[in-house]
Amino acid sequence: MCPSSGYACVYLWNIFVFHAMGCLQSIRCKPKSFRDSIIVLEVNASIDSNRTSIDESSNVVLRYRTPHFRASARVLVPRGSAKETWTVGWIQACNHMEFHNEYGANGVSSWELPDLRDGKIQAISDSDGVNYPWYGNTTETCTVVGPSRRDTKFTVSMNDNFYPSVTWGVPISDSNRPFLTAIRRDQSFTTWLVAINQASGETLVLQTIRWRMRLCIHIDPDKPLGQRASLAEPTAQEQPQILPRNEPIPGNALVKPNANDAQVLMWRPNDGEPILVIPPKY
């Protein structure tokens, strides 16, 4: 019921409208959290179509270079986001590694990740070894500081490939006499587009990619240098999978050691016990 005075009724109505508008304005102006506002506009992942190249220029080692895996993402953080600082970028982990170099009747050398090989961990960090947990810290990451009066758009990108050297001779021998007969490699990786809050450590997985690199090189050590090696299957790599549902990041993918520091080189002779040739760096 309104009081008998019309002026009183108008006064009360104005107070109600003032408070209601104030509430609406407060809701509209409240800055959104980064988690609620970030938008991934586009994600691309591919492996180059070129074949693995083989280099026999050295009489000590055979070198090969695989095609590159490449990933990029375009990201938008709308204006008006909250007062937070986040880093957005790529994190990668190795899930599986087989890297065998065969030396005929002598035996096999292999680069191994012992904890991954033995099933003690699901994955191991593939960080650059400096900027944990990130794969790198140039094109691979971008730091966003809120609040911002303008939309922030940026691209983060990364690439990866293998370029190892494999001795022609048996690894535990001082001789360069060629015995190498085959190289077989099969590695799998998971790559995440991730945002991490620099203050709280809150981690937000934005996209998950899986990819694999396989190769087999046949070698005839009796042929002259430069004519020994030939690339077998596969000559073209499977293209990466951008997963429809994100996967969580295992804890080991975020901390030391990375794969390069944890790997060991083993010599497994056809006759005798395995020998540790190169221990882990970490």
Position 32 scores a pLDDT of 66
Residues 168-177 have pLDDT tens digits of 999 999 999 9
Examine residue 196 and state whether it is found in any structural domain, yes or no. Answer: yes
Around Cβ 190, how many Cβ atoms within 10 Å?
Answer: 22
Split at pLDDT 50, 70, 90, the class of 33 is confident
75 against 11, higher pLDDT: 75
**What's the CA gap between 112 and 125, in Å, rounded?**
14
Residues 202-246 have pLDDT tens digits of 999 999 999 999 999 999 999 999 999 999 977 789 999 999 999
Residues 237-280 have pLDDT tens digits of 999 999 999 999 999 999 999 999 999 999 999 999 999 999 99
Position 227 scores a pLDDT of 98
- What does the block give as tokens for 201? 């450590």
Residues 6+ apart with CB under 8 A from 245: 208
**What's the CA gap between 56 and 64, in Å, rounded?**
9
Q: Domain range holding 242?
A: 32-278
Examine residue 18 and state whether it is found in any structural domain, yes or no. Answer: no
In 66-151, DSSP assigns E strands to 69-77, 85-102, 107-112, 124-125, 141-145
**What's the CA gap between 237 and 106, in Å, rounded?**
30
Amino acid letter, 14: N
262 against 33, higher pLDDT: 262
Examine residue 15 and state whether it is found in any structural domain, yes or no. Answer: no
Examine residue 161 and state whether it is found in any structural domain, yes or no. Answer: yes
Examine residue 156 and state whether it is found in any structural domain, yes or no. Answer: yes
Examine residue 17 and state whether it is found in any structural domain, yes or no. Answer: no
CB 176 within 8 A of CB 168: yes
Split at pLDDT 50, 70, 90, the class of 65 is very high
Examine residue 250 and state whether it is found in any structural domain, yes or no. Answer: yes
Q: Is the pLDDT of residue 12 over 60?
A: no
The region of weakest confidence among 22-26, 43-47, 48-52, 168-172 is 22-26
Position 36 scores a pLDDT of 85
Position 147 scores a pLDDT of 84
**What's the CA gap between 162 and 212, in Å, rounded?**
12
CB 123 within 8 A of CB 114: no
Gap between the terminal Cα atoms of the chain: 80
Split at pLDDT 50, 70, 90, the class of 81 is low
Residues 87-145 have pLDDT tens digits of 999 999 999 999 999 999 999 999 999 999 999 999 999 999 999 999 999 999 999 99
Split at pLDDT 50, 70, 90, the class of 31 is low
Closest by CA to 69, choosing from 45, 44, 99, 42, is 45
Angle at 202 between CA 246 and CA 127, to 5 degrees: 70
The domain total for the chain is 1
Q: What is the pTM of this model?
A: 0.86
Examine residue 123 and state whether it is found in any structural domain, yes or no. Answer: yes
